[in-house]
Structure 1
Amino acid sequence: MSGFILNELLDKLSKRNNTRFGSSLELHVATADIKSRTVVYEYEVTEDEIFRGYLDSGWLSTVVDHATDPLICAAAGTHTPSTYTSSLTVHTLEPILPTTHMEIVCRLVQAEGRLLQTTVLFRDATRKHIVYASGVHSLLYKDGVGSGAKL
């Protein structure tokens, strides 16, 4: 990913509407690394987001989609595929309680041919060895990515 593309990505992240699928997400970019194709967000869980005592996996799925979308769009560039299929998977490993301050680590792991794939780790911001959940967001294109930006 060139410096220009990274700056363009960060600019889009800071200006984009944070409401998706009826949820308002206050994700703040903590870091972005060109070499590892990674964006790290910071988030503090509020009491309003808690259902049955912990953060629901549906909320996590929405965040995976929202947080990885800029990486996927940057990799696809201006290419508009005719057909694609999407897969999104989330695995909850530990309960996420109110006031949990976490990092959401999004990494573009595949951007070749017909497949774009990102991974996500929801981990404790201060005790990074504690991972609350993980996710994978994939797009498979019928005609290949081709003209996407090289990340």
Structure 2
Amino acid sequence: MSGFILNELLDKLSKRDAGATHFGGSLELRVATADAKKRMVVYEYEVTEEEIFRGYLDSGWLSTVVDNATDPLIRATTASPATSFTSSLTVHTLEPVLPGTRLEIVCRLVLVEGRLLQSTVAFRDAQRRNVVYATGVLTLVYKDAAALLGAGGGAKL
């Protein structure tokens, strides 16, 4: 775990790229916990009517949150944010949700191997943690293997 410490992760969570535009970057996700050893960040968020479509969390909103919420974990792993990659993002709505529901958005970096990086996200009820409203998976395949671990000063897990 050398090089990837909690302070680095929290710094990445609190500071976004000053010159970069992040779609949905104005979402008010509050960091509840961060654990560098587990490669995990948990956010808290209260659902509004705008995030619900036909009784479920909207898939576009979910995709935006999966992308933005996992970004700090990914950036802490890669050597360069400008490195090119191919991505795949999948979301699944599982249970109906009501406005005012407090979510825990649990983000985990689950795979860092070669040029492949994968993170998972669970949108669960903050009061009833066994209730999961939606899940997401973000997979990145880097075109330049040097962008990942051990190259050019990137953080090591």
Query: TM-score if structure 1 supplies the norm length?
Result: 0.87
Q: Is the 8 A contact 1:5 1:74 kept in 2?
A: no
Query: Which amino acid is the alignment partner of residue 29 of structure 2?
Result: L
Q: CA 1:140–1:10 in 2, change beyond 3 Å: closer, same or farther?
A: same
Segments of 5+ residues of structure 1 without an aligned counterpart are none
When residues 80 and 58 of structure 1 are mapped into structure 2, their CA distance, relative to the original with a 3 A threshold, is closer
Within 5 Å, which residues of 2 pair with 1:1-151?
A: 1-2=1-2, 5-16=5-16, 20-22=22-24, 24-78=26-80, 80-81=82-83, 83-144=84-145, 145-146=148-149, 147=151, 148-151=154-157
Query: Secondary structure, in 3 states, of the residue corresponding to 1:20?
Result: coil
Compute the TM-score of the two structures, normalised by the length of structure 2: 0.84
Residue correspondences, number: 149
> How far is the alpha carbon of 1:15 from its aligned partner?
3.2
Which deviates more from structure 2 when the two are superposed, residues 69-78 or residues 44-53?
Answer: 44-53
**RMSD of aligned Cα (Å):** 2.2
Q: Deviations over 1:81-115 (max 9, x none)?
A: 3x420010001101222101010000001112100
The runs of 5 or more residues in structure 2 that have no matched partner are none
The 1:25/1:12 distance shift into structure 2, 3 A limit, reads same
